[in-house]
Chains A and B, each alone.
Chain A
Amino acid sequence: MKNRISLVIADDHEIFRDGLALMLAKQESVELVGQAGDGHELIRLVDESKPDMVLTDIKMPRLDGIAAARVLLGRYPGLKIIALSMFEEEDLIVEMLEAGARGYLLKNADKQEIMEAILTVDEGNIFYCKHTTARLASLIVRSRFDAGKKAQGHLFNDREKEIIRLICKQHTAQEIGDLLFLSKRTVEGYRTRILEKMDAKNTAGVVIFALKHSIIKEEEIL
């Protein structure tokens, strides 16, 4: 059996930290080894316990998540960092990714999504929160953040590209099926294959990939 993923979490709101800790305590695949209230504490805790992963808030007093991430990744390049963000902080999320975070979650994410993020990033992939807006997606694509995707845009045929574009425009499988005269099932099959090829976990990943490889233009989704 694979070792449990050791985690440190950081957030300046104790109540939120408690909620997160309570949730993580019940998960078998992770082990919470520390809780920090700001960036300085986070760095100290990571130095002490050398965890596999850090889940950190972005806006924190004294030292914020962005500065802490830069320091931590300077010391431990292999450390995996996931940013936790309150709504309305798209520019900060982009900065966090540029600082080296491998994924981000909005704080209203549910248990399933938080665990999905932890496992995805642990496997070495990037995790984009499913609540990613079109604007955030385009900010990410234009930023210095490089996901280092293996797959390329030309891996997709015309039909797939058409479906990708419709997914990016937030159409459901049923709607896509109606538009392209396909069954919902067939569209779902396409969707699964597309997500696999892109290494994406959700629509947000598809949108960012499609923008990056010019399968869709920014104007079409904004």
Chain B
Amino acid sequence: MVTSVLNITLYVSLIIAIIIIYFFVSIIRYHRRYMRLQREKIFAEITIRENERKRIAGDLHDSLGPLLSAVKLNIGSVDTLAPADREVLEKTGRYLDEIIGSLRRISHDLVPGILERRGLLEAIREFIAQVGARGSVNIQLYVVKEIQVPKEKEIHIFRMIQEIIHNTIKHAHAGNLQIGFSEEGGHILCLTKDDGCGFDKEKALSRSSGLGLRSLESRCEILGGILQLDSAPGAGTNYFIKIPVR
């Protein structure tokens, strides 16, 4: 009698234990699945955005650009002796120049064409030359060892470097920013170092201004790499990025 009650209790507690374990396992699995889906969603979003950008930049550059140039040539070939008319034509030509200039900027900001043609390092060099000319930060690029980056990864690494440079210019009040690239054991290594004011990582992430930082992390995750950030108020900011080449 007593043993049967004991047996039943044992069975019931066993069943309860199994249910609880199953419950926990499900939660953990669900959570993992949720995280994976979340990651895939971010990955898809970023990929779609990059493709869109590329398409729009291509349209601007390859279709609208030549069209505007053609319009400018057409206007230029109108001969008129009336000074008022000539002035109108000249003015229109200048407007067209302005439109073409804006087109150039927009297209270039969307995707720098040089990235596609010459690869990551040249694109970064060009970007540094552009922002360096405007900004007060002295940016140096060191390539310790030539890196071979797969085409589909280049845009992400480029955006990460862009973000880091932007952050340095906008927030760090730094005088110097050093960016180093190397390749080691099938990994691309990138180290950046500035002598700016530094920041508290946790605080930055909790604010909306941490958005850039989070996108850095997402992109790094997409590439299956790791991102390490060392910064503290008054101590400058260092990033270390390690990405498998594969």
Contacts and interface: CB of A to CB of B under 8 A. Distances in A.
Nearest to A135: B129
B93 A110 contact: yes
Contacts of A158: none
A158 B113 CA distance: 41
Contacts of B72: 19, 108, 110
Interface string A100-118: 0000000110110000000
B61 A222 contact: no
Contacts of A23: 73-74, 76-77
B100 interface: yes
A48 interface: no
A134 B126 CA distance: 12
Contacts of A26: 77, 79
Contacts of A149: none
A13 to B, nearest CB: 4
B85 to A, nearest CB: 16
Q: Which residue of A15, A88, A89 has the most chain B CB atoms within 10 A of its CB atom?
A: A88
B130 to A, nearest CB: 8
Chain B contact-residue range equals 20 to 34
Contacts of B96: 108
Contacts of A92: 117
Interface in A23-42: 23, 26
Given A16-B66, A88-B113, A135 B126 contact: yes
A222 B139 CA distance: 13
A135 B74 CA distance: 30
B197 interface: no
A91 B116 CA distance: 12
A89 B70 contact: no
B143 interface: no
Nearest to B73: A19
Contact of B69 (A22, A107, A111, A134): A107
Interface in A171-202: none
B44 to A, nearest CB: 29
Contacts of B70: 13, 15-16, 18-20
Contact of A86 (B65, B74, B97, B118): B65
Q: Which residue of A15, A16, A108 has the most chain B CB atoms within 10 A of its CB atom?
A: A108
B91 to A, nearest CB: 13
Given A19-B77, A107-B69, 10 more contacts: A13-B66, A16-B69, A23-B77, A26-B77, A26-B79, A86-B65, A88-B108, A88-B114, A91-B114, A110-B76
